[in-house]
């Protein structure tokens, strides 16, 4: 049994204590490693069970709820807010109709660890409200999550409207569909497609290095 399947079984039992005890076995790993190598495979496996009608929607929600507890506890180690008022800003949201936001939470957490100013809007945010928030807050990065194929037509709408912002943000797109489709064909204006959290972490680090270099020059 893989780590993902083992943790999935614990999540589906609904015990936050057992789930946290399992995660603590990996406290020698970084949050990034736990997110990508332990939690992500577990939630993918839960999703596969649901798609194959081996568990119910209630089971899937129970597993997601326990997972949310784990993520919040892991993220709390880095929750001290940066005093840097010039810190780059990132906002994260799921497309309208999207309810699966575990991956998005892990993404937001990685940005917070790097001392970004983060706003997490979560699941199912209609495009008009996302655009309004972006106009008011002027983020440097907007992260979008899409996990259900029937929602892909909305991706072009979201990636299109953000190009009209006075301050042009970098658009990141992630979700489980990145391994199944060429999401560039469903998006406008060539957003950055993120396929895993290691790739994302490298991008954040490079962004910060470039930003500091530009500031010095």
What string of pLDDT tens digits covers the 217 residues of the chain?
A: 777 899 999 999 999 999 999 999 999 999 999 999 999 999 999 999 999 999 999 999 999 999 999 999 999 987 655 566 789 999 999 999 999 899 999 999 999 999 999 999 999 999 999 999 999 999 999 999 999 999 999 999 999 999 999 999 999 999 989 988 999 999 999 999 999 999 999 999 999 666 544 333 3
Euclidean distance between CA atoms 7 and 46, whole angstroms: 10
Cα Rg for the chain, rounded, in angstroms? Answer: 17
| pTM for this predicted structure | 0.90
Euclidean distance between CA atoms 190 and 159, whole angstroms: 9
pLDDT at 69: 96
The kind and range of the H/E element at 90 are strand 89-94
**Cβ-based neighbour number of residue 126 at 10 Å:** 14
Q: How many CA atoms lie within 13 A of 132 on its CB side?
A: 6
141-145 and 89-94 beta bridge pairing = parallel
């Amino acid at each position: 049994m893989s780590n993902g399947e083992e943790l999935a079984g614990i999540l589906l039992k609904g015990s936050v204590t057992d789930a946290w005890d399992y995660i603590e076995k990996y406290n020698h790993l970084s949050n990034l490693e736990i997110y990508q190598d332990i939690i992500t495979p577990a939630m993918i496996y839960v999703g596969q069970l649901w798609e194959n009608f081996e568990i119910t929607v209630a089971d899937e929600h129970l597993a997601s709820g326990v997972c949310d507890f784990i993520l919040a506890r892991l993220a709390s180690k880095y929750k001290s807010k940066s005093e840097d008022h010039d810190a780059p800003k990132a906002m994260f949201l799921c497309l309208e109709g999207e309810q699966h936001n575990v991956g998005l939470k892990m993404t937001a957490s990685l940005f917070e660890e790097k001392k970004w100013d983060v706003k997490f809007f979560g699941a199912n945010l209609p495009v008009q409200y996302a655009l309004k928030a972006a106009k008011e807050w002027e983020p440097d990065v907007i992260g979008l999550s899409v996990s259900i194929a029937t929602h892909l037509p909305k991706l072009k709408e979201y990636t299109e409207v953000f190009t009209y912002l006075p301050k042009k943000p970098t658009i990141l797109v992630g979700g489980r569909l990145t391994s199944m489709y060429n999401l560039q064909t469903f998006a406008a204006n060539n957003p950055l497609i993120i396929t895993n959290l290691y790739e994302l972490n490298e991008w954040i680090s490079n962004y910060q290095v470039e930003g500091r270099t530009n500031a010095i020059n």
